[in-house]
Amino acid sequence: MTIERCQRISVGLLSAVALLGIAGCGPQTPPPKVENIVVPLPENVQAEPPPPALPPEPVPPELVNASRGEDLWHLRSALNVAALICENKVYTSLVPNYNRLLTVHKALLTAAVQTELDQFKQIDKKKWQALYDTHMTKLYNQYSLTQQRDKYCRKASQIAGIASDLTAEDLSKQATEMIFRLNLAGEINQALLNWGPPGSPVAASTPSVQSVSSARP
- Burial class for 143, CB neighbours closer than 10 Å (0-12, 13-18, 19+): buried
pLDDT of residue 46: 65
pLDDT tens for 2-15 read 555 544 545 454 45
Distance set, CA 54 to CA 49, 110, 185, 216 (Å)? 15, 40, 17, 39
User: Which tops the pLDDT comparison, 123 or 45?
Assistant: 123
In a domain? residue 51: no
User: Which tops the pLDDT comparison, 148 or 191?
Assistant: 148
pTM: 0.67
Counting the structural domains of the chain, the total is: 1
pLDDT of residue 199: 37
Question: Given a cut of 70, is residue 133 above it in pLDDT?
Answer: yes
In a domain? residue 13: no
Find all residues with CB under 8 Å of 144, minimum gap 6, and list them.
81, 84, 85
| pLDDT, average across residues 190-215 | 47
Determine what percent of the chain is predicted with pLDDT higher than 90.
54
In a domain? residue 91: yes
In a domain? residue 25: no
In a domain? residue 39: no
Candidate from 20-29, 82-91, 198-207 with smallest mean pLDDT: 198-207
Average pLDDT, the chain: 79
User: Which tops the pLDDT comparison, 201 or 197?
Assistant: 197
| pLDDT, average across residues 156-179 | 96
- The answer to whether 127 touches 135, Cβ cutoff 8 Å, is no
In a domain? residue 5: no
User: Which tops the pLDDT comparison, 107 or 32?
Assistant: 107
CA dihedral 76, 77, 78, 82 (to 10 degrees): 100
- The answer to whether 160 touches 94, Cβ cutoff 8 Å, is yes
Find all residues with CB under 8 Å of 69, minimum gap 6, and list them.
111, 112, 113, 114, 115, 116
Range(s) of the domain holding residue 101: 68-193
In a domain? residue 124: yes
- The answer to whether 94 touches 82, Cβ cutoff 8 Å, is yes
pLDDT tens for 13-57 read 445 544 445 445 556 666 666 666 666 666 665 666 777 776 777
In a domain? residue 198: no
pLDDT of residue 5: 54
